[in-house]
Each structure stands twice: as C-alpha cells, then as structure tokens.
Structure 1
Amino acid sequence: MNAALGPIRVMLVDDHPVVRSGYRRLLEQGGDIAVVAEAGNGETAYVLHQEHAPDVCVTDLSMPGIGGLELLRKLLARDAHARVLVFTMHDTPQLIARALDGGACGFVSKQADPEHLVDAVRAAHAGRRYLDPHSAPAVLHDAAGTEAQRLSSLSQREFEIFRLLAAGHSAADCARLLHVSSKTVANHQTCIKEKLDVPGPAALVHLALRNGVIESIHP
C-alpha cells in the first residue's frame, strides 16, 4: 500500500449482515483495503455510493428490491468511472456475460477461493478487469443454447424486470422499485414474454430458476 494514497476504499453490498462481516475481515486483513460502507440492498447502496465515493463497489446479484445488475446500471449511469465488482453465487455463463457487458470491472464466484476476492478488488482499483479461475471456463465455453440466446436478447431493463417478476414481485412492485411508470413495465412485460417465448408466469419462473437468475421464489 502507498501510505500517501491510503487504503483502497470499498463498499460491500450483500443482504446478509453475517456474510458482509466475513467479507470485511477478509478484505481488511492485508492492511491495504478498508471497507468504508455496507448496504443490504441496491437502493441503499446507490445512496451510500454517492455519499462515500468508494474506489470499488463489491456487490451480490440477488437481493431484495433492485438486484446487482440494476445497481450496476444505475451507478454507471451516474458515474461512468464507477468500479463495480460482482461477487455472487449466481455464476452461470449468462449472468457473468451480462454483468461484464453491463460494465462490471470483474466477476468473482462465491465458490472460488476467498483470496480471489482480494485479488479482484486490487485489480479493479488498478483499472484491470478480473475474472476468477472458477468463472473463466464458463465464459470461454460456448453456452449458446436456445434459452441462453433468448435471455441474451433481453435489454438490461427487461432483464431486471424479468428477474423481479420471477422472484415473485408484481408489476406494480417493479414500477416502484425501478422508478418507472406502470405503463413502461407493462410494455417491457410484453417484450419479455415475446422474447423468452413463455406462455405464462409459471413458465417464466421455471426458466429463471433453470438459468440461475433467481435462487428461489421469495414470498
């Protein structure tokens, strides 16, 4: 660490406080990284990011309210130079590609060895893209099946609405969480149904579960 510059300032975004506590200890044990803010959801993270201006934001994908991909979109829309690192259990090729295409500076699976998160934060701070060894084969492998192709056809906003709907949120919930009109959500729903070729809500949920977009259906 360059003493004149200080430690790398990190914000952690994960909806499990115990998990965040473990990440904090992991990141700060080397002395060159300091966790300056924590958030349990995307809405709080968006506000805290502006308040604390961390060097790197480390976020999970699946959280109550807006997910990590929507947080990524919102942060980069406000600050094109924001460095957002995705750290999640949801490491399917589709989600990895979507995160990187959406502007994430790196992707680390929670199934990878813990030190890869530390390496990823340091790489992100240095302006380098990082992909852990566990996730890299999934990106390099040609996973362009029919469902994967359909999912990749969704825009970032369509994908976030798809994720929220699959997790059990209503169209009204989507409009409130994403700060858009009900008409906008309805239009996106039509496009999502056509692009994914799903006959109804149950099929949409099953598609999301099969492709790791959601882990389970939240009540």
Structure 2
Amino acid sequence: MNHQLDPSPIQVLLVDDHPILRQGMRQLLETHGGLHVCGEAGDGENAVVQALAHKPDIILMDINLPKISGYESSRAIMTAWPEAKIIILSNQDDPHVMKKCLDLPVKGFLLKDIQIEVLVEAIRKVRSGEPLALSEELAQKLKKKERNANGHLREALTEREREVLQALSKGYTNQKLADLLVVSPKTVQNHLYSIYHKIGVSSRSEAILWAIEAQL
C-alpha cells in the first residue's frame, strides 16, 4: 500500500524493559527510510514521562514492564494525551490481554515475532490514520475467548436470572419485571445485583448490551 510521503521522519518512542531489544529495534527501524527513534523507556513510569515529553508520532509499547504495566502506562498516556497513537508490541497472545488493551483503545496489537517489514508498515499505517487490524490468528483467538467466556457466564446464571435478563433486554422496568415474575420489586433488585456480579457489569445498560451480544 502506498503512503503519502512526508518530508519529516516518523518519530517513534520505544518502550521495552530489555535494553538489547530496544537497541536492536532502533537499528532495524532506522534502516528503513522515514523512521526515527526519538526516545526509549525501560519501565512503565518512564514511558509516561517520555511520551508526554516527546509527543512522538508512534509509541511501541510492551506489556510486561517494571513499576507499572504497559497497559497502565498506555492508559495514563492516553488520559493525559488522548491523541497518542500506541501500538502494543508484545510476546503475549492471551486474548484477555489483547481485549483489555484494545478496549483502551490502543491503535493496534502486534506480536514481537513479526517481520520488521510488517512492523514498519503497521507504524506507517497508524501514523497516516489508517486502522490496524489484528492478524487473522490473533483475531480468531480473541473471538474464541469471547465465545467461551460468554458461554461460561450463561451457564453461571440460574434459570430465573436468565428470565430476568431476557425481560430486561426487552426494556421492562423493575415493577413490570416484578409483575411478570410474580415477585416483589426488592426480589427483582436482588436478582439484578446477582446478575451484574456474575457477568461482570455494573449497570442496567451494560447488562442489556451483554444479553444482546451473548444472544441470551
């Protein structure tokens, strides 16, 4: 894919706790035209400092970092600087970790075993504002994890809780739910607290969205 030429190099911040890896990454990136490593950080706290000091075009962020994790570091950076473009570069392919990071949302999630050409292309795409999709392998792992998680959560609900959640997704009020189930509004509220806890949400709207996505 052709990208519009920019006379100024893309400024990249490298965040990884292994100095040798950062050194090698710097050399590889800077052998490709149009890229410049403007800073490095070996822990999560320094990553935040460096990111806000340099305001790089792209931040390559590892997950496992001293002091604070790459996830917490990314969240802190994006809170202070919402325009930050962060690509997670990790050796973890855990779907839970991927989803947690993408929900921030960072601009992409890549594994460290990719080819340097793929990484450079990803950097250029994100810099130009193009979306960076997960690799097919990672996307399938994430979908499988979500299907399994929703399946386990559905099994954890009692039959009555499923009834409450199904009615909730139809827009029923607590009073209408109580009338439908022939119970008190207080019992309905207790069911809702139990449902929220089991499926990991904290509000009525989140529970409705979960029920729709889980095809309850």
TM-score by structure 1 length?
Answer: 0.62
Work out the CA distance in 1 between the residues paired with 2:6 and 2:122: 21
Note if contact 1:69-1:99 (Cα within 8 Å) is conserved in structure 2.
Answer: yes
2:70 is aligned with 1:39: no
Note if contact 1:91-1:135 (Cα within 8 Å) is conserved in structure 2.
Answer: yes
Which residue matches 1:57? 59
Note if contact 2:87-2:107 (Cα within 8 Å) is conserved in structure 1.
Answer: yes
Which residue matches 1:113? 115
User: Any gaps of 5 or more consecutive residues in structure 2?
Assistant: 154-196, 200-216
Work out the CA distance in 2 between the residues paired with 1:107 and 1:89: 10
Of 132, 135, 140, which residue of structure 2 is paired with 1:137?
140
Note if contact 1:109-1:132 (Cα within 8 Å) is conserved in structure 2.
Answer: no
Which residue matches 1:84? 86
Per-residue displacement from partner, 1:158-213 (whole Å, max 9, x unpaired)?
xxxxxxxxxxxxxxxxxxxxxxxxxxxxxxxxxxxx889xxxxxxxxxxxxxxxxx
Work out the CA distance in 1 between the residues paired with 2:87 and 2:107: 6
Instruction: Rate the CA distance shift 1:195–1:38 in 2: closer, same or farther, 3 A.
Output: farther
Work out the CA distance in 1 between the residues paired with 2:92 and 2:145: 18
Note if contact 2:96-2:145 (Cα within 8 Å) is conserved in structure 1.
Answer: no
User: Any gaps of 5 or more consecutive residues in structure 1?
Assistant: 151-193, 197-219
Once the 2 structures are TM-superposed, how far is the Cα of residue 132 of structure 1 from its aligned partner? 4.8
RMSD: 2.6
2:5 is aligned with 1:2: yes
Instruction: Rate the CA distance shift 1:110–1:147 in 2: closer, same or farther, 3 A.
Output: farther
Once the 2 structures are TM-superposed, how far is the Cα of residue 145 of structure 1 from its aligned partner? 3.2
TM-score by structure 2 length?
Answer: 0.63
> Identity percentage over the alignment?
32
Which residue matches 2:15? 13
Work out the CA distance in 2 between the residues paired with 1:112 and 1:57: 17
Amino acid at match of 2:104: G
SS in 2 for 1:130: coil
Note if contact 1:58-1:84 (Cα within 8 Å) is conserved in structure 2.
Answer: yes
* Residues matched between the structures, number: 153
Work out the CA distance in 1 between the residues paired with 2:6 and 2:53: 24
Which residue matches 2:170? none
